[in-house]
Amino acid sequence: MPLQDTHALTFSLTVPPDFRFAPCLDYMARSDNESLFEVRDGGVNRLLLLSGEPVLLRITAEEEQTLTVRVLAGAWKGEAARVEAERYIRDWFDLDRDLEPFYRLAMGHGVLGGLAREFNGLRLVGVPDLFEALCWAIVGQQVNLAFAYTLKRRLTETYGDSLEWEGRIYRHFPRPGQLAAAEPEALGALQLTRMKSAAVLDVARRMSGGALSREGLLALGSFRAAEEQLLQIRGVGPWTSQYVRMRCLRDPEAYPVGDVGLHNAVRLLLGLDRKPTLPELQALFADWPGWEAYAAFYLWRALY
DNA sequence: GTCCAGGAAAAGG
DNA sequence: CCTTTTCATGGA
């Protein structure tokens, strides 16, 4: 592989005034079994596919109102790669959203006010890649997070691209085409259940065939229409579709209302001795019109 | 061994 | 159409 002279290549992104990188890193460092990026020394390293080539980037916040991106390794395709990287990172950290209205709503709110102060500057860290987002949600169904991370790691290590740099291996989540031809038994060997295997393979085939894509979902014109298309997939139910709306499609009103973790967070923060009921949840989220996704993300954050 | 986990499909009414 | 049961697997 021709390793171009990328070691000196650096560029920067402007960030909104209410952005802070530290709480985003804290969130991303919540699992020591994360396989798709590495939070280390005040920054995050991640392998991205830019113009089809694996490129290892490091993101830090060294100056005010700025994220610094260093190209550490890989085949750098110049301006096209920079545009792609910038688009990915702005999406990943939701850099084009003004959180001021959210914080104004949270201020004075008993539960969320405290969280808004504790995690001030935290962005809804997204999963820009639709295949990764769908697979992450599918493997995360009804299993504890620790096991979900293990399943994601196995999929990534078995089917994804990788690049070694300074003695460490950085990995990219498989592309749909890399999984589409896999046998269900092969995924079963990674400890995915039959339903998870079938769902992941169905998504891989739809996406590699072009029948399903993030752009296609967004082009439908409404998040509700996108959700209906997602629900056609066997193994994708309400929780998964809402999760993908929230973290990949970035529907600001989406949140997984049936989520066990969300229920636990609300129970904890409201001091309930039981899970909140659906009407209680709906009443709670009615306080944040247009900011339901952020409210849920901050509530979720309180647990970890 | 038990209970649970960032659910979904199938069965039952 | 709404409610209950089954499936499935590792972590604590």
Spell out the SS3 assignment of A164-233: EECCEEEECCCCHHHHHCCCHHHHHCCCCCHHHHHHHHHHHHHHHCCCCCHHHHHHCCCHHHHHHHHHCC
Active-site pick, A26, A259, A273, A287:
A259
Residue A194 has which token pair? Answer: 């039959």
Residue A267 has a CB neighbour count (10 Å cut-off) of: 15
- Amino acid A1: pLDDT: 45
Cβ < 7 Å from nucleic strand C:
A 142-144, 146-147, 150, 188, 191, 193-195
Strand C positions closer than 7 A to protein CB: 7-12
Residue type, A104: R
* pLDDT score, position A251: 98
**CA dist., res. A296 & res. A291, Å (int):** 9
Token digits of residue A256: 């997984």
In whole angstroms, B5 C1' to A83 CA is 39
DSSP state of A275: P
Task: Retrieve residue A272's tokens.
Answer: 């309930």
pLDDT at position A7 is 54
- Report residue A288 as tokens: 């944040």
3-state secondary structure of A115: helix
- Predicted local distance difference test score (pLDDT) of residue A110: 86
Q: Is A287 a catalytic residue?
A: no
User: Is A300 strand, coil or helix?
Assistant: helix
Spell out, as residue ranges, where chain A has pLDDT lower than 70.
1-7
Is residue A211 exposed (0-12), middle (13-18) or buried (19+ Cβ within 10 Å)? exposed
Does A140 contact strand B, using a CB cutoff of 7 Å? yes
Q: What is the mean pLDDT of chain A?
A: 96
Domains delineated in chain A: 10-97 (3.30.310.20), 99-121+252-304 (1.10.1670.40), 130-247 (1.10.340.30)
Tokens 């920054």, residue located:
A43
Tokens linked to A243: 């999760």
> In this structure, what is the dihedral angle of CA atoms A27, A32, A38, A42, given to the nearest 10 degrees?
60
Separation in Å: C3 C1' and A274 CA: 20
- For A66-82, what is each residue's pLDDT tens digit? 999 999 999 999 999 99
CA distances from A105 to A113, A250, A292, A296 (A): 8, 19, 11, 14
